[in-house]
Structure 1
Amino acid sequence: MTATTYEPPKMEFRKAWRALNALIADPEDTSQVFTIMRALTGKSFYKQYLKFRKNKMGAQVLEEKRNLIDTLVDREALKQYPEGTLGKAYIDFMIREGISAEGLAEISEDSYDEFEDKDMERYAFRTRDMHDLWHVVTGYGRDGLGEVCVVAFSYAQTKQLGFAAIALMGAYDFSRRFPGNRIFRAAWQAYRIGRKAEWFTGQDWEHLLTLPIEDVRKMLKVQTPDIYLEHDEVIANTRPEALAAAE
C-alpha cells in the first residue's frame, strides 16, 4: 500500500468496542490500544500523514530517513544528558516505570503490517515511538488517570477517533470507581491543553531531548495539568501496580 494508492480503512466499531472493554478490564494490555486505534483510524491517519509531509520538520525526517526509536533505545546515551533535560527526564521515566521503547514497538508489531510506502511506515512508527515523550512533556503519568488524560491530549492533537473513545471510556470507568472526583474535568482540561499546544507530531524530538524540559514545555506551549495533579488518591490507586494488586 503506497501513499498514492492508500485507501482509508473502514471504521470497525464492534471490534473497537470489544477492545475497549478488554482494555478497561486490563489497563496494562497495551495491545488493545493499537486494536482500537486501528479499528477507528478512518481517514485521520492519512490526513495527519499528509500534514506531516508538508511540515518542514516532517519533510526533513522523511528525507533523512530518521527513526526516532534509534535514539530512544540508546539508554546509555540518554543517561548522559544533564539533569533537567528532556532526555534525562525521559530515560528516568522509562527506568522508573520499567518500560522501554522497544517493548512498545513489539506490542504494536501486528498493527503496522500494511505499509509498502516507507515514508508512511516511518511516520507511523515515529508517532508510536513518541508516546512516552508526550507523557513526560505533558506531565501526565502512567497511572490510569494519566493515561486517560494523555489520550485526550492526543485526540486534540491528531483528531484520531480511537483516542477519544479510550479517553471517554476510561474517564467514565474511573468516575464510577472514584465518585466525587473531577475525572471528566481532568480529561477535558487535557484535551484543551492539547488544542492550545504546538503540534507535537511535527517536532524535532531528537533535538528537543537535548534541551531543558521546562524550555521544551514553553516552546510547545504546554500548560500545567493542575486538575490532574490534584487527584493524588486517584493517581495512586490507578498506578499499574495498584491495579494489579486489586485483581
Structure 2
Amino acid sequence: MAKLPPFPGTTGRRDWRTAFDAIRKLLANGDDTTQVFRIMKALNAGNAERNYARLLATEEGGRTAYDRVELAQRLTDKHWVDQFAPGTVGAAYREFLETTGYSADGLAEVSKVIHEDELAHPYAWFGRRTRDVHDIWHVMTGYKADESLGEACLVAFSYAQVGGLGWAWIAGAASLKSLKVTGNRLFSKAVWEGYRNGRKAKWLIGEDYEALMAEPIEAARRRLGIATPHAYLTAQRELGPELASYLSAQKQQAAAAVA
C-alpha cells in the first residue's frame, strides 16, 4: 500500500499532555463528548493518511473518494432518512435518532475542536466520514449510544476497524476504571469483545453508506461479519443501567430521579 504524505501543517507527534487532561475529564463525565475529539486530535497522528490510502486501495474506494459525499448532510436530511423501509439499516438509524435525540449535525458541531477536520482536504473529508458513521455503527453493532458500556465497546470496535491510538486510549481507560467501580470484569470483557468483533468484521469505513442504509439490517450484519455481542449483552443485563452508564453524569442523575 502506498504511503501518503502527512496532513499539511502537522508534526506527526502525539500530544500526551492534552490526552491525559482530556481522558481525566472524560472519565469524570462521559457526557463531555468534546474530550473524545481532543483525545483523537492528540493521539491519532497519521491515522487519516493511512486509512485514506487504504480506501483508495479498495475496489470502490477511488469512486468513493472522487464522489466525496458529505454523510452529515445526508444524515440530517429528514426526507432522505424517512424514505427507508422498515427492517432496513436506514429505518434502524431513524429509530435511533428518535429514541436518543442525537443527530449527525450535533456530533459535527462538537467535533469542531478538531479544526483540521473542517479543511478542504481529502484527509479532512475522510475524518468527517469516520465521525459521521459513528452512530450508524452503533445501530449496526447493537451497542447503545446512551450508556458508557455501549460507547466503550464501540470505541474498542472502532480501534480495531480504523486504528488510531485515541480509540484504544479511551476504551482502555474506561475498562480500567470499570474494574474499581463495578467490582467485576463484566464491563472490561465486553469492551475486549468489541475489539475482537471489530477485527473480525469487514472494513466498514469503506462501505457505500447510501446503499447500506437501504439494506435489510440483519442481512447487512451477516454480509459485513458483525457478530452478536454476547459479552456486552450479559454485562448490560447484569450490571444494570446505573453501572452500565457509570461514566455518564446525565444517566446517573436520571436513574436517581427515577429511584
Identity %: 36
Q: Which residue, 7, 15, 19 being the options, matches 1:16? A: 19
More divergent stretch after superposition (191-200 vs 37-46): 37-46
Residue pairs, 1:151-190, within 5 angstroms: 151-190=155-194
Asked if 1:37 is matched to 2:40, the reply is: yes
Distance 1:104 1:57 in 2: 27
Distance 1:166 1:113, change over 3 A: same
Q: Equivalents in 1 of 2:117, 2:200: separation in Å?
A: 33
Contact 2:175 2:188 in 1 (8 A): yes
Against the structure 1 CA distance between its residues 235 and 216, is the aligned structure 2 distance closer, same or farther, given a 3 Å change threshold? farther
The offset of 1:180, in angstroms, is 2.6
The amino acid of 1:82's aligned partner reads A
Q: Is the CA contact (8 Å cut-off) linking 1:145 and 1:174 kept in structure 2?
A: no
Structure 2 CA distance for partners of 1:126 and 1:19, relative to 1, 3 Å = same
1:242 aligns with 2:245: no
Is residue 2:146 matched to residue 1:137?
Answer: no
- Residues 1-247 of structure 1 correspond to what in structure 2 (within 5 A)? 4=5, 6=7, 7=10, 9-113=12-116, 118-142=121-145, 143-231=147-235, 232-234=237-239, 236-237=241-242, 238-239=244-245, 240=248, 241-245=250-254
- Equivalent AA in structure 1 for residue 241 of structure 2: A
Q: Distance in 1 between matches of 2:11 and 2:134?
A: 23
Q: Distance in 2 between matches of 1:12 and 1:205?
A: 32
**Contact 1:155-1:161 within 8 A present in 2 as well:** yes
Work out the CA distance in 1 between the residues paired with 2:151 and 2:64: 27
Q: Structure 2: how far apart are the matches of 1:114 and 1:206?
A: 21
Give the TM-score of the pair, scaled to structure 2: 0.88
One-letter amino acid matched to 2:138? H
Tell me how far 1:115 sits from its aligned partner: 6.6
- Assess if the C-alpha contact under 8 Å between 1:152 and 1:191 holds in 2: yes
In structure 2, the CA distance between the partners of 1:180 and 1:145, relative to structure 1 (3 Å rule), is same
Separation in structure 2 between the aligned mates of residue 235 and residue 77 of structure 1, nearest angstrom: 36
Give the TM-score taking structure 1 as reference length: 0.92
Q: Secondary structure of the equivalent of 2:195?
A: helix
Q: Deviations over 1:125-175 (max 9, x none)?
A: 111100001111011112100011000001111121000000011111222
> In structure 1, how many angstroms separate the alpha carbons of the residues matched to 2:168 and 2:18?
16
* Inter-partner Cα distance in structure 2 for 1:187 and 1:10: 27
1:134 & 1:114 partners in 2: Cα distance? Answer: 20
Q: Which amino acid aligns with 1:243?
A: Q
Query: By how many angstroms is 1:117 displaced?
Result: 5.0
Give the unaligned 5+ runs of structure 2: none
Q: Offset of 1:51 from its aligned partner?
A: 1.0
For residues 240 and 215 of structure 2, the distance between their equivalents in structure 1, rounded to whole angstroms, comes to 28
**8 Å Cα contact 1:145-1:183 kept in structure 2:** yes
From the superposition, tell whether residues 32 and 187 of structure 1 become closer, same or farther in structure 2 (CA, over 3 Å). same
How much does 1:4 deviate? Answer: 4.4
Once residues 71 and 118 of structure 2 are traced to their aligned partners in structure 1, the CA distance between those partners, rounded to angstroms, is 18
- Specify every segment of 5 or more residues in structure 1 that has no aligned partner in the other structure, as ranges: none
Three-state SS of the structure 2 residue aligned to 1:51 is helix
